[in-house]
Structure 1
Amino acid sequence: MRYDEIGDVPCSITRPLAIFGDRWTLLILKYSFAGVRRFMGFHDALGISRSRLAERLDRLVEHEILSKHPAGGYEEYRLTEKGHAIYPILMAIRDWGDAYMAPDGPPVRYEHRDCGGEAHVHLTCDVCGKDVTARDIAVSPGPGLGG
């Protein structure tokens, strides 16, 4: 399968990879959540070529994850509701990175503003509310599979 075909695969894990399947896109989103909004802010933070950055930003706008807004002679990129829904994905990656790639401990804490506790991602069953792991999941065809 070619990379440009993965967006057509009937799988809700595979399809998003057509948007998020490279490190630059996830890093742009990380910086978006940190408050970066302008093209040059992303460029300075990431150090990637302007053309690659423009292509990634355009893709995120095309998929309505970011939106462009005029701001004092510049354009700003702001997270949409759809974009904000990506936050748990980044936090899951962060949790994994803290557990397996931070030998001296987490380099950054993500604290709940109200109480100071640290935010983490947990999978739970939507029926019984129990925490689940991959060992607890059975995969079966869903209505979007067709056929």
Structure 2
Amino acid sequence: MRYEQLADLPCSITRPLVALGDRWTLLVLKEAFAGVRRFNAFQSNLGIPRSRLQDRLGRLVDHGILVRRPASDGEHPEYRLTRKGHDLYPVLMALKDWGDTHMAPGGPPVHYRHRDCPGEARVTLACDHCGEVMTAHDIRPEAGAGLVAAGAEDA
């Protein structure tokens, strides 16, 4: 199966990987959440080749995760996170939590503090009904409406 065909699979983990599935895209998003908006700043901060950055920014714009618009000073365009883009923040924080636990032997390199208290941002998987914290062992996947609809289309 070709990489582009993955977007057609009825899977809410696989489909986002088509838009987000490489390290540069996630690093561009990390910079965007840190307030970077200009092409040259992304390029300078990441050391990413210009053509690759152009491709990744274009993909994020095409998927509605970033919007490209004129800067207030009118010089160069800016890339801003959309609502869809902001909804990815917990994904990056989940990666950060995993990295802090499994790949930071000297401790977390950066603390993501709650603005108004000494607490730190953490991602927790919890049931939307009862609020109980869950792990993979507590979850049972079931067919949803999107899978049923995709199966009906294939028939």
1:89-123 per-residue CA deviation (whole Å, 9 max, x = no partner) reads 00000000000000000000000001121000001
Once the two structures are TM-superposed, the CA of residue 141 in structure 1 deviates from its matched residue by 0.5
* 1:45 aligned counterpart, secondary structure: helix
Aligned to 2:39: 39
- Which runs of no fewer than 5 residues in structure 2 stay unpaired? none
* 2:68 aligned counterpart, secondary structure: strand
Of 61-70 and 9-18, more deviation after overlay is shown by 61-70
Once the two structures are TM-superposed, the CA of residue 5 in structure 1 deviates from its matched residue by 1.0
Aligned to 1:118: 120
Aligned to 1:127: 129
Note if 1:66 corresponds to 2:66.
yes
- Which runs of no fewer than 5 residues in structure 1 stay unpaired? none
* 1:41 aligned counterpart, secondary structure: helix
* 1:104 aligned counterpart, secondary structure: coil
CA distance in 2, matches of 1:132, 1:53: 37
Identity of aligned residues (%): 63
The 5 Å alignment of 1:1-147 reads: 1-71=1-71, 72=73, 73-145=75-147, 146=149, 147=151
* 1:43 aligned counterpart, secondary structure: helix
Amino acid at match of 1:118: E
CA distance in 2, matches of 1:2, 1:69: 32
TM-score by length of 2: 0.93
- Count of residue pairs brought into register by the alignment: 147
Root mean square deviation, CA, Å: 0.7
Spell out structure 1 runs of 4+ moving beyond 3 A. none
TM-score by length of 1: 0.98
Amino acid at match of 1:111: R
* 1:25 aligned counterpart, secondary structure: helix
Once the two structures are TM-superposed, the CA of residue 139 in structure 1 deviates from its matched residue by 0.7
Structure having the higher helix fraction is 2
